[in-house]
Amino acid sequence: MNSTPIRELPKAMAKISTPRSAAADDAATSSGKADKQPYGAPALEKGLDILELLAGLSHGVTQSEIAQLLGRSVQEVYRVMMVLERRGFIQRRPGDDGYFLSNRMYELAHLYPPLARLIDMATPLMNSASVIADQALHIAILDTTFIRVVAQVDSPAPLGFRLRVGTKNPAMSTSSGRLLVAFQRQAVKDWILGDLRRTRSAEEAEGLILRIEKIRTRGYEMVTGEGLQGITDVSFPLLDSTGFAQAVLTMPFLSAARQKVSFDDACEVTYEAAEKITGALGGHQPEVRFPLARIAARRPPDRVD
C-alpha cells in the first residue's frame, strides 16, 4: 500500500515543534545559558516528536516522511523508530510501509485511573491552599445530571464548613454543578439542559440556561446562601488539554468573627490552586479579574446575574 504524499498531510503538523538538527540537539545539552534546560536527552526528544507527530495522523507515514516532517535526516530518526516499534509504541500494518501510533500509550494511561490521578495530584495543592485561605475546599465531578464530591480538605480554622466525600446533588442547583455544565462538551451540555427543560418550568429553565452562558464567559461561579445561609460558594473549573472541565474546585467560604484572610484573598488563593491543577491536567485556566464582586446574601440562588 502506498503511503499518503507529504503534501496531503494535515495542517495540524504545523504544531510540531520547530525542526532541529542533531548538532542543535547536542548544542542544547552543553549550553550554559540560563534559558536552556540544565539537561538534555536528544534521543528522547526525537522519540517524543515522533509520537506527537503520529498522534495527529489517521494514516501511516514512512520513515522518510517522518524525517522530512520533523526536519531531520532519516539516519537521525531510524534508530529511535526501531526502538519505538520494538517496544510497541508504533506499528506497521501488514503490507504497508507506513507507521501508525499503536494503543500502547492508551494502555499506559489507563493503568492509572484518571479520577485517582486527579485526586492524588490535586490533594496536596488543596491542602496548601486551604491553610493559606483558612477555608475548606472540595472537588466535584459530574455524575449524570448530578454532581458528586470526590475530594475534600478541612479548614484549619476552629470553625468551618465541609461537604462529605460522596455527597451528591442536582448539578443545576449548585455552584459546582452549573460551572461543570458550562464547561462541558456541547453534546453533554445539550443532554443536561434538555433534562432541565423537562423538569423545571420554562421560565426557570431558560433563566438557568442564560446563567450557564454567562458562567462560561466569566470563567467562575459564585453564589451566597444557596445551600446554607452565611456560606458563599466560589467555584473554578479544572480543565483538561481540550478546554473542557474534568472537575471543579469549590471554596464554601464561611466568614468568622476573627477572620484571618479576607474573602477576596481567599478567592485568589483558590483560583491559584485551580490554575495549578488545570496546568497539571494540560489545560489553561480562564483569566479572572480580582477582586470578585460578592453576591448579596439575600439574592435568590437561581437568579440570573
**Are 51 and 84 contacting, i.e. CB atoms less than 8 angstroms apart?**
yes
Q: What is the pLDDT of residues 158-179, one digit of tens each?
A: 777 778 898 899 999 999 999 9
Predicted pLDDT of residue 33: 45
- Of 220, 219, 237, give the one whose Cα is nearest residue 281: 237
Q: How many CA atoms lie within 13 A of 229 on its CB side?
A: 1
Predicted pLDDT of residue 164: 87
CA distances, 8 to each of 50, 76, 96 (Å): 18, 24, 18
Q: What is the pLDDT of residues 284-293, one digit of tens each?
A: 999 998 888 5
End-to-end CA distance of the chain: 59
Tell me whether the omega of the peptide bond preceding residue 156 falls within 30 degrees of 0, making it cis: no
Predicted pLDDT of residue 36: 57
Q: What is the pLDDT of residues 193-249, one digit of tens each?
A: 888 898 889 998 899 999 999 999 999 999 998 878 889 999 999 999 999 999 999
Predicted pLDDT of residue 303: 41
Across-strand partners of 141?
Answer: 148
Residues 6+ apart with CB under 8 A from 108: none
